[in-house]
Structure 1
Amino acid sequence: MLKIISWNVNGLNAAVNKGLLDFVESENADIYCFQEVKVFEKTISPEFMDSPILKPYHLYWNKAEKNGYSGTMTLTKQAPLAVMEDMNKKSELDREGRLITTEFPTFYLLNGYLPNAGEGLKRLDFKLEYNTVLWEYLDELKTDKPVILTGDLNVAHQEIDLANPSSNRKNAGFTQEERDSFSEFLSRGYIDTFRSFNSEGGYYTYWSYRSNARERNTGWRLDYFVCNSEFLPSV
């Protein structure tokens, strides 16, 4: 069975300093999808790029135009049939390094770092536009073969996906608009794979650095593996 791991590393170089390479070696996954790598060629850690731990992997990297911001990276033991960056829209949507698509013989894998609606929801419209275009892109791909979307999607879909829903209804990641966008996506025939196996709350992927949120498990579930429904038996 194929083992795929997704992780918003919030800065690749910082993650390397905290033991990322040891994690890669110990987990020995077939594919790693990293988000928010925040590095360019001139700034990426030589310790990472030169590590023998990465020798079994093909590395694909989509960088934001702005240094130190966003960016996605996919490591895969099996060489993909094709690799596509972004969504070929030649627009503002494709300038932040938010998506890498790797094609394999039996599926497409999309490693995504979707936009955050931002403080004061100043990027909410941008995020909703990005979502709309991405959902359409996924629909196009799945006419050819099954698709998997993984990464930091920057939305807590349901109330059980964050610790304090009542106080966050107007905050980025839990606005009704963002949740409705994700619901509409799932209604097209896609499955939130974690929720297909677990219907309980208390499982989160992000915790604020403030107020000992991690220790108190005051978190958000912002990271997902989503596949089209026909592919679920293979999960």
Structure 2
Amino acid sequence: MKFISWNIDSLNAALTSDSDRAALSRQVLSTIAGEDPDVIAIQETKLSVAGPNKKQDAALKEFFPGYQVEWVSSQPPARKGYAGTMVLFREGMEAKTTAPRIGAPDTMDYEGRILTVDFGDYYFVNVYTPNAGSELKRLADRQIWDKLYADYLASLDSKKPVIACGDFNCAHEEIDLAHPENNHFSAGFTDEEREGFTNLLNRGFVDTFRLLHGDIPSVYSWWAQRIRTSKINNSGWRIDYFLVSDRIKERVRRSEMLDSGPRQDHTPLVLEMD
């Protein structure tokens, strides 16, 4: 089985815009399609409450014919066109999709941040973890989220194995970003967020990239758009992950980043398992 995860930073922009960035995004979508995955997880769709419109749906089908599409969007009282997640999987796969609310603070439960698919033998969970925000204004709420999300994954894992992926908005260790010395008080690398990620792993999960690649340095999944040379200089962060239940880690065969070319921001991840 092959799984792919990508924070697309606006599905509409990627599918329908004429901008240079949209063209680069479509190249990444073509790369994903070329991998012929069984399941695709997308974060930060920024769709309306009603989901993909006809134009967006048609464009998706051009890239991924023969896939069923499930989604959850931000809804009141949360902001419109904010966050949102989507999962595509091959038609014919038996699946039951839910968009759980975990009791998170503020409007986090209404921002379309978790989409879970029960594939029978295992759960597949797509997450877009809340960012702690500028000046760490949302850090306290983020800490609560991290605990509740860990509880949620552990509850699923108590029933059957879990594959969890997405944008976790956290570089776990110093090796997971290019300049740790400058970022200990930056969103995504605070001690509190890193502790939350450690707690998640300690609930019975493994970071599949580190499982296969050990302490290989300078491999990242995100480069800041606002810094024009961030990707050229590989000044990035690894904040996107594929996690699996400890008891199925021996089934992992491939876990790596896909090449997104010159496009900055997130790059897709691929996971292959027996």
Category of TM-score, reference length = shorter chain: over 0.9
1:89 matched to 2:97? The reply is no
CA drift of 1:13 comes to 1.7
CA drift of 1:177 comes to 0.4
Q: 1:35-74, aligned counterparts within 5 Å?
A: 35-40=43-48, 44=52, 46-50=54-58, 51-65=61-75, 66-74=79-87
CA contact (8 A) 1:4 1:31 kept: yes
Matched residues in 1 for 2:53 and 2:14: separation?
A: 10
Comparing 80-89 and 146-155, the one that deviates more? 80-89
Q: 1:117-128, aligned counterparts within 5 Å?
A: 117-128=132-143
CA drift of 1:75 comes to 0.2
Matched residues in 2 for 1:154 and 1:21: separation?
A: 22
Which of 160, 182, 185 in structure 1 is aligned with 2:200?
185
Q: Call closer, same or farther: CA 1:135–1:95 in 2, change over 3 Å.
A: same
Q: CA RMSD in A?
A: 1.9
1:222 matched to 2:213? The reply is no
- Determine helix, strand or coil for the equivalent of 2:180: coil
Deviations 1:96-148 (A, max 9, x none): 10000000121100000000000000001111111111111111111110001
What count of residue pairs does the alignment treat as equivalent? 234
Counterpart in the other structure of 2:169? 154
Counterpart in the other structure of 2:219? 203
CA drift of 1:79 comes to 3.4
- Determine helix, strand or coil for the equivalent of 1:219: coil
CA drift of 1:196 comes to 0.7
Matched residues in 1 for 2:52 and 2:160: separation?
A: 34
CA contact (8 A) 2:154 2:204 kept: no
Q: Call closer, same or farther: CA 1:108–1:204 in 2, change over 3 Å.
A: same
Comparing 127-136 and 51-60, the one that deviates more? 51-60
CA contact (8 A) 1:160 1:202 kept: yes
Matched residues in 1 for 2:29 and 2:203: separation?
A: 37
- Unpaired runs of 5+ residues, structure 2, are 16-21, 253-274
Counterpart in the other structure of 1:109? 124
Counterpart in the other structure of 1:129? 144
CA contact (8 A) 1:190 1:226 kept: yes
Q: Call closer, same or farther: CA 1:172–1:47 in 2, change over 3 Å.
A: same
Q: Call closer, same or farther: CA 1:26–1:45 in 2, change over 3 Å.
A: farther
> Normalising by the residue count of structure 2, what TM-score does the alignment of the two structures yield?
0.80
- Unpaired runs of 5+ residues, structure 1, are none
> Normalising by the residue count of structure 1, what TM-score does the alignment of the two structures yield?
0.93
Matched residues in 2 for 1:166 and 1:53: separation?
A: 41
CA contact (8 A) 1:87 1:137 kept: no
Higher RCO, Cα 8 Å, sep 6+: 2
CA contact (8 A) 1:161 1:201 kept: yes
Q: Call closer, same or farther: CA 1:213–1:88 in 2, change over 3 Å.
A: closer
Q: Call closer, same or farther: CA 1:131–1:80 in 2, change over 3 Å.
A: farther
